[in-house]
């Protein structure tokens, strides 16, 4: 055993030690300079950088260039009752990085040194908040204002207590002319909102002089949860320009309240993830989740119409131009979580503007950007049907054919995983007790296996696009989840939402059932579905073929042992791609950031992080004589239980002596 551990430890070190003892090559200054102005790298969310200074030959020499600690996390703030997840991706403007902490402070740092320039604290109300995250901020420059004028550059952030704030990019002071002293109350028009039920976690989206925002709704609490309205505000004044209430066409709008404020329907799908924008077309692309609650839909009254869909809105009026539904009558919480990617593809000799939409099911849909029509055939295939009284399920679901589904369609009891015959047998028995007819097996009273589970597949980390090689790179989780409906009359012992390491009970008030979620695991706490439990993959959008797929993530930080088995683990966060042919990604449940060869999937470099890196990195180079930096937040993920912290870390090649 000691010898085996030594071998595994050496394998785990892998590329991390490849550069040990070697001299770094000379720093090249002949490549391009580029920034990262919006959350997804560009308005279309491609997560691509044209930078080439860091390449396959020198990436192994990357080292920490600077780090910054926010002090703003659950253990750093005594007033925080929430588990925090530091998921931010900074954005860059004129040599300054802007990003947010889970508890809604905005930070401005010098992009080359990490020196602090200012901090703004939104001072959110944290009572009743269970989890807190902020993935990013949005920038907007007022072309009518002098460059040095107050709030000529504005930083927008959504908060965990449902506000949209605007601060001066130069000083961090609130923009007094925006709404109410720099903040919009997003609970207006929603009606009753319970504490912690409605919050903004993703970066707002700017199109022209409108800033658009959705929100995350605690959508397993009750039937009449706050609605998922998407709103656009004037970037100068904070005045509401438009609102998209995601109800079926022809549904009459609600009467305004006594103060004349608009009101929005309740229980509608919400848009909690990142939007994309096409400024030339004046279109906003919004990924929607499902109506409330997620796992029982006998009450929905047609509100599934925009559920689990990508919706193209006119950015000037919020009129829907088209929508494409990735799941019909979603009963699995298969929200459209990934940011839509706006690409130009050459198909049969013709360049076509497309929207590429990854989903939690491991599907990738490629749609015409102007019409929403699939570029390649999408098949409606029969799927298992519900046996729950009061429920109906869609007889078919859409399956893409190009690329074909990227996640296995089923995990059988015969595939149960275990380290020994004993724990494998226990897992086999656990899986045999669940209804399991493959993907889209609906929740049931006995318990059903959802594979993939609610996290995906592909989640908010989204895809990264390499336009030269026509490769889409994605991080995929592959964990099964048991969905069980509990008749309310038999389940009064569980009246409130409860959380544990592997299970949760949600009330779903207003339905006949509570919902119980669990991850089938062995007595050793290991998933019963087969590994790898997480992969990194590249798919060609020229051929539709999977070019490579590798296990992603080791057990290094899941056990007390100082090495990790490369079994592949679930991830939360996403990749970026550079013109030099590199993929950078944190995301996995071990505390590493890595670089891969985009053409082969070979790991070329990894570095230890002081906390979980469940965020998406970014990269930039400010000037021809300057260095290229790769920056990632390392603060952990509260719900996943990774190492918590508050670090923002920049890596670069060594400077010339």
Residues annotated as catalytic are 333
Quote the tokens at residue 274. 């990142």
Outline where 368-510 has alpha helix (H): 421-432
Which DSSP string do the residues of 69-120 spell out, in sequence order?
A: E---STTT-TT--SEEE-----EEETTEEEEE-TTSEEEEEETTT--EEEEE
The residues with which 82 forms a beta bridge, in sequence order, are none
Within 8 A by CB and 6+ apart from 173, the residues are 120, 150, 167
> Hey, how many other C-beta atoms are within 10 angstroms of the C-beta on 187?
16
| Distances in whole angstroms, Cα of residue 323 to Cα of each of 286, 369, 536 | 9, 11, 29
> Hey, how many other C-beta atoms are within 10 angstroms of the C-beta on 633?
35
Strands (E), 172-280: 183-185, 198-199, 205-207, 210-213, 216-217, 230-234, 240-244, 276-278
Within 8 A by CB and 6+ apart from 489, the residues are none
> What is the rounded radius of gyration, in angstroms, for the C-alpha atoms of the chain?
24
Residue 375 has φ and ψ, to the nearest 5°, of -75, -35
Within 8 A by CB and 6+ apart from 127, the residues are 81, 195
**The dihedral formed by the CA atoms of 36, 38, 44 and 50, expressed in degrees to the nearest 10:** 0
Do 182 and 174 touch, CB atoms closer than 8 A?
A: yes
Quote the tokens at residue 373. 């029509």
């Amino acid at each position: 055993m000691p010898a085996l551990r030594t071998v595994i430890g050496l394998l785990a070190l892998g590329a991390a030690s490849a550069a040990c003892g070697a001299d770094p090559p000379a720093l090249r200054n002949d490549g391009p300079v580029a920034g990262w102005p919006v959350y997804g790298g560009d308005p279309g969310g491609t997560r691509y950088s044209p930078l080439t200074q860091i390449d396959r030959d020198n990436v192994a020499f990357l080292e920490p260039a600077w780090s910054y600690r926010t002090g703003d996390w659950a253990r750093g703030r005594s007033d925080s009752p929430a588990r925090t997840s530091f998921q931010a991706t900074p954005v860059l403007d004129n040599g300054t990085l802007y990003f947010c902490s889970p508890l809604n402070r905005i930070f401005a740092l010098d992009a080359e040194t990490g020196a602090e320039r200012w901090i703004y604290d939104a001072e959110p109300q944290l009572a009743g908040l269970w989890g807190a995250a902020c993935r990013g901020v949005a920038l907007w420059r007022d072309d009518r204002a002098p460059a040095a004028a107050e709030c000529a550059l504005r930083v927008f952030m959504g908060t965990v207590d449902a506000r949209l704030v605007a601060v001066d990019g130069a000083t961090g002071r609130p923009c007094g002319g925006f709404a109410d002293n720099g903040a919009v109350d997003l609970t207006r028009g929603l009606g009753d909102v319970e504490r912690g039920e409605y919050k903004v976690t993703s970066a707002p989206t700017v199109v022209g002089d409108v800033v658009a925002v959705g929100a995350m709704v605690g959508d397993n609490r009750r039937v009449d949860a706050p609605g998922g309205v998407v709103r656009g505000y004037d970037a100068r004044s904070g005045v509401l320009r438009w609102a998209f209430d995601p109800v079926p066409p022809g549904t009459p709008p609600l009467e305004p309240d006594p103060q004349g404020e608009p009101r929005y329907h309740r229980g509608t799908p919400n848009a909690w993830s990142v939007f994309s924008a096409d400024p030339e077309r004046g279109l906003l692309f919004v990924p929607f989740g499902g109506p409330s609650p997620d796992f029982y839909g006998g009450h929905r009254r047609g509100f599934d119409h925009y559920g689990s869909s990508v919706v193209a809105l006119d950015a000037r009026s919020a009129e829907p131009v088209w929508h494409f539904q990735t799941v019909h009558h979603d009963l699995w919480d298969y929200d459209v979580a990934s940011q839509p990617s706006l690409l130009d593809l050459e198909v049969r000799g013709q360049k076509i503007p497309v929207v590429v939409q990854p989903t939690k099911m491991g599907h990738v849909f490629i749609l015409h950007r102007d019409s929403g029509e699939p570029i390649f055939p999408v098949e409606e295939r029969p799927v298992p049907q519900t046996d729950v009284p009061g429920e109906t399920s869609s007889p078919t679901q859409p399956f893409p054919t190009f690329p074909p589904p990227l996640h296995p369609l089923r995990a059988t009891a015969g595939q149960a995983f275990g380290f020994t015959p004993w724990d494998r047998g226990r897992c086999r028995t656990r899986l045999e007790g669940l209804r399991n007819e493959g993907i889209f097996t609906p929740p049931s009273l006995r318990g059903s296996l959802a594979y993939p589970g609610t996290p995906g597949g592909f989640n908010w980390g989204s895809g990264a696009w390499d336009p030269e090689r026509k490769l889409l790179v994605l991080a995929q989780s592959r964990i099964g989840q048991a969905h069980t409906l509990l008749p309310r009359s038999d389940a009064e012992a569980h009246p409130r939402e409860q959380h544990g390491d592997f299970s949760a009970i949600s009330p779903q008030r207003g339905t006949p059932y509570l919902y119980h979620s669990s991850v089938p695991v062995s007595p050793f706490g290991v998933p019963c579905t087969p590994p790898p439990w997480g992969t990194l993959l590249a798919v060609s959008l020229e051929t539709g073929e999977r070019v490579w797929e590798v296990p992603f993530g080791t057990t290094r930080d899941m056990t007390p042992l100082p090495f990790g088995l490369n079994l592949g683990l679930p991830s939360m966060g996403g990749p970026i791609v550079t013109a030099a042919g590199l993929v950078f990604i944190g995301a996995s449940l071990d505390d590493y950031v890595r670089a891969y060869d985009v053409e082969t999937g070979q790991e070329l470099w990894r570095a230890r992080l002081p906390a979980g890196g469940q965020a998406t990195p970014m990269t930039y180079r400010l000037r021809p004589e300057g260095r290229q930096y790769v920056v990632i937040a390392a603060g952990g993920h509260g719900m996943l239980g990774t190492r918590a912290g508050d670090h923002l870390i920049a890596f670069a090649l060594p400077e010339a002596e």
